[in-house]
Amino acid sequence: MSGTDNRSLIKPALDIDPWLEPFSHHLINRQLQFQKWYKDLNNTEGSLIKFASSYNTYGLHANWDNNSIIITQYVPDVLEVSLVGDFNDWNFNSHKLIKINDFGLWSLTIPSINNEFAIKHDSRYKIAIKIPSGEIIYRLDPWLRRATPAKENTLYEGRFWNPPKHEQYVFKNNRARFNNKEGIRIYEAHVGISTPEPKVGTYKNFTENVLPIIHKLGYNTIQLMAIMEHAYYASFGYQVTNFFAISSRYGTPDDLKELIDTAHGLGIKVLLDVVHSHSSKNVQDGLNMFNGTDHYLFHGGAKGNHDLWDSRLFNYANHETLRFLLSNLKFFIDEYKFDGFRFDGVTSMLYKHHGLSFGFSGDYNEYFNPDWVEDEAITYLMLAHKLLEEINEIDNNDDKFISIAEDVSGMPTLCLKISEGGIGFDYRLSMAIPDMWIKILKHLSDEQWDLANIVHTLTNRRYKEKCIAYCESHDQALVGDKTIAFWLMDKEMYTNMSVLTENTPVIDRGIALHKLIRLLTFALGGEGYLNFEGNEFGHPEWLDFPRIGNNESYHYARRQFNLIGDDLLRYKFLFEFDRAMLSLDSKYGVLDTPQAYVSLKHESDKVLIFERNGLLFAFNFHHSNSYPDYKVGIETSGTYVLVLSSDDKEFGGHQRVEETNDKGIPYEYFTNNERWNDRSNSIQIYLPSRTAVVLQLKDKVF
């Protein structure tokens, strides 16, 4: 391509953000590097789809046509490779693999015995490798589908997962789809903690007991954490040991398939929290030192270590690393029917400094400095999104697979399509928002809340790059931090959350602000919304996994969903408000619409007014002042009715806002043509203290 033609690769990105112009050559180089890899993979592997389908050949597989078993492994720079296990009494010389090429590929076909598989279902196996020193080392299959804890030690052992056909789960439901109004509403969940009892929850428990709650609330997407197998439970799933195995502590692969299929039947998409930013350092039951070297799929030496996370870093420029990671994505889509991915640790991937001790200021030089930016990782992420695009085309799926980036840096073009000159993500997490709320609750009195700063943080996102807004995720629920409910009410949550006790000033304030913070974040903060399980009803305790520091206790590694079923407890109020809030999006469309127009930020009144997609949102954050007939600007004239009030009794409020007249007819609000706050019309509403109301045109109410 000529220089002019190359520029066409990124023209849409430059049109969206002209400030990228001085860095156009960097953006062009990214596109060219991606195209080179894409072309090379198509030439050498047949296609990107075939390359990412390598999970069908690599690893240990059963051939049901003739009951043979075939194993294929990439093990470079070794002398011999053997398959050992229960089936051959762990004999190194019994089943040696044959070297296929000079690039480290080995394979072996094991014929059936008496027309039965030579290796029994769920039996143990390992890869035995003779390294150049002559030593024989034993490793788990990098592509294995099942790993379980050993009985005699703390290590995990590989198992050949090959259940009889009649026992294999068969999917019944098509993938879930969004309606044409709604945006993405994510329920971030961890299967193991999703039970009130202090124990490890199961996939079946989640399917039977938690999915109905998520559906009732109105979330249309679940983001499942800690699914990829991790030997250390307290790592929250972020120290992955076995990338193609799902965590056995929650149940079987068929149990997870049933969970996802049931979610689809309820109209709920399921995303996998995928960890491709790093890998566990475990040697005996992980990827580390698989072939006896420190650079199997990873960078060698110091470059291959993440010192803060104490983990290994992938070499994204390695052909076989790309095969492994891209196949991992396609495997979870094909095998388990996941609807997309939340990519963990994207900031660490994007930069050679991994974001450690680096305060991103927004200066574009921080995003394009060749000494800082990891272009190889960016190429991998672009290939991953090209793969999702191609799978989508093959499946003829109207609702594309979803990708979300956990990136704190604000990398420009991260959430633009590759065809627009971007990296390809659909959304990034707005990580500044929860930080803002915690700082406010920790350091400021109610009178000191700065509405202008709050609005700036909630709306400060890149044009045309979608964001997921959230008040708090699992990060804020972990021990050592506090949830919003705890910051607001921790002094009295164990004594005054019963409706039989006094509604104290602490509880009254906490419940009121919990609702306002959520509604404001939901309506103003992004094109999608996320909540961590339990936080929607103000879960009374933090999250702490069993570990040495807490005597291996499961007391805080749980979610007490039983609290919302107790009619005498106030948690039900927050639960019902969350449900009503989410319905605004499913009914009227809030999230997947252009940014709101903020018409008023009145610091002394503590009143905030904005419109989004025809809805009028009015917030009064004042701790004591209520305002009758408060005049606010509104663009569209007509008759409006109330569609949500945070002050309703069913939400734990004081019912100060009239919803209906004495005949039960919805109370109406009429606009007049007086221009106000730079809007074409005005309307007068009653704004009680610590209350938010939402109005909609009468003829558009469902």
CB 408 within 8 A of CB 431: yes
CB 189 within 8 A of CB 210: yes
Residue 442: closest CA among 481, 477, 487, 493: 487
According to DSSP, residue 115 is labeled T
DSSP letters spanning 675-691: -BTTBSEEEEEEE-TTE
Choose the catalytic residue: 255, 339, 374, 406.
Answer: 406
According to DSSP, residue 310 is labeled T
How far, in Å, CA of 282 to CA of 312, rounded?
A: 9
- 406 part of the active site: yes
In Å, what is the CA distance from 528 to each residue of 24, 66, 243, 336, 413?
29, 49, 28, 24, 18
- 389 part of the active site: no
How far, in Å, CA of 111 to CA of 285, rounded?
A: 28
**Which residues, in sequence order, are CB contacts of 389 under 8 Å at separation 6+?**
400, 418, 424
In Å, what is the CA distance from 366 to each residue of 23, 410, 463?
11, 10, 19
Alpha helices in 166-274 (DSSP H): 203-205, 211-217, 253-265
b/e burial code for range 136-171 (CB count within 10 A of at least 16 → b): ebebbbbbbbbbeeeeeeebbbbbbbbeeeeeebee
CB 473 within 8 A of CB 430: no
Work out the burial of residue 462: count CB atoms within 10 Å of its CB; fewer than 13 is exposed, 13-18 middle, 19 or more buried: middle
**Side chain identity at 483, as an amino acid letter?**
T
HSE value, Cβ hemisphere, 13 Å, CA-based, for 270: 29
Choose the catalytic residue: 17, 285, 320, 344.
Answer: 344
HSE value, Cβ hemisphere, 13 Å, CA-based, for 664: 0
- The continuous run of DSSP H or E covering 36 comes out as helix 24-45
Work out the burial of residue 362: count CB atoms within 10 Å of its CB; fewer than 13 is exposed, 13-18 middle, 19 or more buried: exposed
**Which residues, in sequence order, are CB contacts of 654 under 8 Å at separation 6+?**
647, 688
Catalytic residues: 344, 406
